[in-house]
Amino acid sequence: MRKKELAIMLSKLKGFRNPKPWLEQYRTPGNAASELLWLAYSLGDIEGKVVADLGAGTGVLTVGALLLGAKKVYAVEVDPEAVEVLKENVKDFDNVEVIIGDVSEFSEKVHTVVMNPPFGSQRKHADRPFLLKAFEVSDVVYSIHLAKPEVRKFIERFSQENNFVVTHRLTTEIEIPAQFFFHRKRLERIKVDIYRFIRASRGRSS
């Protein structure tokens, strides 16, 4: 499978039926998901690995990890309505465990975390619990965040404070369709950064 093929397949998955603004529920676009997953796959962090998708939503990153050969994926999602769609999207896979609950309650140790946490647009610092849990349960973390100078500064500082280093940062553009009352444009294009973090004790060359 090529990255472009992966992006197309992920773009065809079912999305949120009733997206909730306070959870910042936006479908992870196929292009951003494939960029994150392909980076992880190329660095040996997906195939044959146990992966956790924190805040899995409808399962875009979960399905991508499964398609790229993950040994098992834990898909953790707090919204029961999103979980219904997630289960439909992963119905053809038997090596996935869907967990309904807050990410703070997840305690399984995994090889790799992949996630697209809330950007904090509706609730300030909404991404922090996701990063903290990811740093707790894994040595390797991939995450998507807004490509803004203040966010980059926060990410660098926060990861260092938790004994993690940024090894990769890719910038891409995603499209968010108008779906909530506060949206002013029919289609919003925003730049995001895709990060790879590793625990500092592993060394920068891991």
Residue pLDDT, tens place only, 107-163: 999 999 999 998 755 566 788 999 999 999 999 999 999 999 999 999 999 999 999
Spatial neighbors of 175 by CB under 8 A, at least 6 apart, are 29, 187, 188, 189
Domains in the chain: boundaries: 3-200
Position 204 scores a pLDDT of 45
pTM of the model as a whole: 0.90
Residue percentage of the chain with pLDDT more than 90: 76
What is the C-alpha to C-alpha distance for residues 138 and 75, in angstroms, rounded to an integer?
A: 15
Residue pLDDT, tens place only, 23-40: 566 778 899 999 999 999
| Interior angle at CA 163, CA 65 and CA 167, nearest 5 | 50
Query: What's the CATH number of domain 3-200, 3.30.300.30, 3.40.50.150, 3.40.50.1820, 3.90.740.10?
Result: 3.40.50.150
